[in-house]
Amino acid sequence: MDSQVSSTRNTSIAEPQRNDKPSHECGIFGIFASDTDVARLTFFGLYALQHRGQESAGIAVADGRRIRVHKDMGLVAQVFNEDKLRPLNGHIAIGHTRYSTTGSSRIENAQPFMVESALGPLAVGHNGNLANATVLRQELLRRGVGLMSTSDSEVIVQMLAGGEGQTWEEKLKIFMVRAQGAYCLTVLTRQALYTVRDPWGLHPICLGRLGDNGWIVASESCALSTIGADFIREVEPGEILAITEEGPVTIAKMPAPKTAHCLFEYIYFARPDSMLNNRSLHSIRVAQGRELASESPTDADIVIPVPDSAIPAAIGYAQKSGIPYSEGLIKNRYIGRTFIQPDDRLRKVGIALKFNPLSDNLYGKRVVLVDDSIVRGNTSGPIVQLLRDSGASEVHVRVSSPPIRHPCFLGVDMATYPELIAHRMSVAEICDHLSADSLAYLSLDGLIRAAGQHETGFCRGCFTGNYPVNIELVEKSVFER
Ligand code: AMP
């Protein structure tokens, strides 16, 4: 046996469901380092990327002769322990953490995916969503390739394993010509670690250095700091990077019509201690809050964030408006996306499972409540009510992103059209729905000013419905309005 997969679940193959969301979120990590416990470092790298996906985790390790994989459903710390890491010996590893959006948790969608091929074993981790996955999937099935899952990531693995090309480099280039949409890939072979970023640069991936002879790639730079590696640079849009004993080498740069960095990474998704386009996300989000205060001022006594994701924007709003920053809600930091569903009684308590109010800070105050985004609109209304119940005299909601009116087809688990509150309602109607005293969103121009890279192209699909790639090939059911 050249390769080995360990996993503890029974699997079945399910048809894509009508309510399947168009996208999924992931964190990916890769390391090439001799004389290093690469599986352990990958574990800690994934731990730092846990916010990018909480439903499954996996690590694949190559030792020059074979590849071993362990993956399962659950958080990184639930999937791995010393016993699971110990057999994962080698000097090259990739890791993956995934939030599946297909309703139920399915082990067959967990990554890395591993297959045997004529060139030897191959394991792949993918972050993003291919817009033309359905077409590519049909092509594979017509060629007689069997597929185990509903995931576009498996389509990528099979295209690489069985597609044209005599070398991995050729196969990767051919894949990039065919693929439309969002893909950051870590590709593990017996001898090398390849990293690929789609030509639009939709989602982030960066290169770091560990000591004298170790190289890391990770979805976000926060994973580099966590394991003591130094940030070197972002992997460029369209770049294929090969990492071997000789270090990293750019083996191709596929041309892009234009770059289209995902704005939602800037707003919510990536961690504030990560760097995007050479700037800290924390400072970009503070700038969003400052823009929001300039565009939509209000008279109030305190500015509070919806913790944790809106903290930097609330700081910015307070700085620019001169209204004191305060805390009004304390979040249970351990709640995450738990597998244990609340019972009916707890469901009625709803938002209280996640946040407790600080009544002393709120009583009799006119409050500006800053949130980073409103997606379905299920969270903000109960929070406004919680603040009122705690004695706030007025609640003015300020959102540090524009209204999200369209789904994401390119790698963020957003929602479908019927679920998106800003698709169904005007800003005034949403304000009524939330029972807020006022509601204002950051403008798209304000957001792009805060992101600060006028020369850089952004994907604005979720705000405008104009996507950088042709999404007509996406599964039709998700278009239903
Ligand atoms: P809701 O409007 O009820 O869907 O909740 C929106 C809140 O969830 C935002 O304030 C974000 O903090 C958070 N959020 C936004 N997008 C996502 C996402 N893709 N996955 C998980 N949480 C999200």
pLDDT tens sequence across 417-446 = 999 999 999 999 999 999 999 999 999 999
Higher pLDDT, 310 or 349: 310
Helix (H, G, I), strand (E, B) or coil at 349: helix
pLDDT(87) > 60? yes
Token pair of 32, please?
């090439």
pLDDT, position 271: 97
CA distances from 70 to 40, 94, 178, 195, 198 (A): 13, 11, 30, 20, 27
Token pair of 305, please?
């964030």
Ligand 1 center from residue 413 Cα (angstroms): 9
pLDDT, position 20: 47
In 3D space, the residue among 160, 186, 153, 168 whose CA is nearest the CA of residue 42 turns out to be 186
pLDDT, position 151: 85
pLDDT bucket at 256, cuts 50 / 70 / 90: confident
pLDDT(13) > 70? no
Decide if 26 is catalytic.
yes
pLDDT, position 443: 98
- pLDDT tens digits along 463-476: 999 999 988 767 55
Q: Which residue has the tokens 């580099």?
A: 224
Within a 10 A sphere around the Cβ of 6, how many other Cβ atoms? 12
- pLDDT tens digits along 269-307: 999 999 998 899 999 999 999 999 999 999 999 999 999
Ligand 1 center from residue 245 Cα (angstroms): 42
Q: Which residue has the tokens 């201690």?
A: 273
Arithmetic mean of pLDDT, 62-68: 97
Q: How many residues does the chain have?
A: 481
400 in ligand 1 pocket by Cβ < 6 Å? no
**Contact predicate 16/152, CB 8 Å:** no
Provide CB contacts within 8 A for 346, sequence distance 6+: 353
pLDDT, position 340: 61
* Bridge partners of residue 96, in order along the sequence: 28, 58
pLDDT, position 149: 82
Residue among 263, 268, 424 to mutate when testing ligand 1 (max atoms within 8 A of CB):
268
Phi then psi for residue 316, to 5 deg, are -65, -40
pLDDT(19) > 60? no
Show me where the domains of the chain are located.
Answer: 5-21+278-455+475-480, 27-258
Question: Where are the strands (E) in 88-162, listed by range?
Answer: 92-99, 113-115, 122-127
pLDDT(228) > 80? yes
Burial class (CB in 10 A: 0-12, 13-18, 19+), 287: buried
CA distances from 177 to 126, 140, 170, 243 (A): 17, 16, 11, 22
Residue among 373, 376, 421 to mutate when testing ligand 1 (max atoms within 8 A of CB):
373
pLDDT, position 9: 47
Q: How far apart are CA 149 and CA 157, in angstroms?
A: 12
pLDDT, position 334: 77
Token pair of 370, please?
């800053």
pLDDT, position 455: 63
pTM: 0.92
374 in ligand 1 pocket by Cβ < 6 Å? yes
Arithmetic mean of pLDDT, 170-174: 97
The matching CATH number, chosen from 3.40.50.11290, 3.90.228.20, 3.40.50.2020, 3.40.50.720, for 5-21+278-455+475-480 is 3.40.50.2020
Within a 10 A sphere around the Cβ of 336, how many other Cβ atoms? 11
In 3D space, the residue among 260, 138, 273 whose CA is nearest the CA of residue 197 turns out to be 260
412 in ligand 1 pocket by Cβ < 6 Å? yes
pLDDT, position 348: 62
Higher pLDDT, 416 or 174: 174
Arithmetic mean of pLDDT, 172-198: 97
Share of the chain above pLDDT 70, in %: 89
Average pLDDT over the chain reads: 90
pLDDT, position 105: 61
pLDDT, position 68: 98
Phi then psi for residue 323, to 5 deg, are -80, 135
Q: How far apart are CA 421 and CA 197, in angstroms?
A: 32
In 3D space, the residue among 282, 293, 281, 285 whose CA is nearest the CA of residue 319 turns out to be 293
- pLDDT tens digits along 362-392: 999 999 999 999 999 989 999 999 999 999 9
Q: How far apart are CA 240 and CA 186, in angstroms?
A: 10
Q: How far apart are CA 447 and CA 461, in angstroms?
A: 14
pLDDT, position 339: 53
**Contact predicate 304/332, CB 8 Å:** no
Provide CB contacts within 8 A for 201, sequence distance 6+: 236, 237, 238, 256, 259, 260, 261
Q: One-letter amino acid identity for 353?
A: L
pLDDT bucket at 160, cuts 50 / 70 / 90: very high
In 3D space, the residue among 205, 118, 164, 216 whose CA is nearest the CA of residue 411 turns out to be 205
pLDDT bucket at 60, cuts 50 / 70 / 90: very high
pLDDT(12) > 80? no
pLDDT, position 312: 98
Ligand 1 center from residue 268 Cα (angstroms): 8
pLDDT(52) > 80? yes
- pLDDT tens digits along 449-468: 999 866 669 999 999 999 99
- CATH fold for domain 27-258: Glutamine Phosphoribosylpyrophosphate, subunit 1, domain 1 (3.60.20)
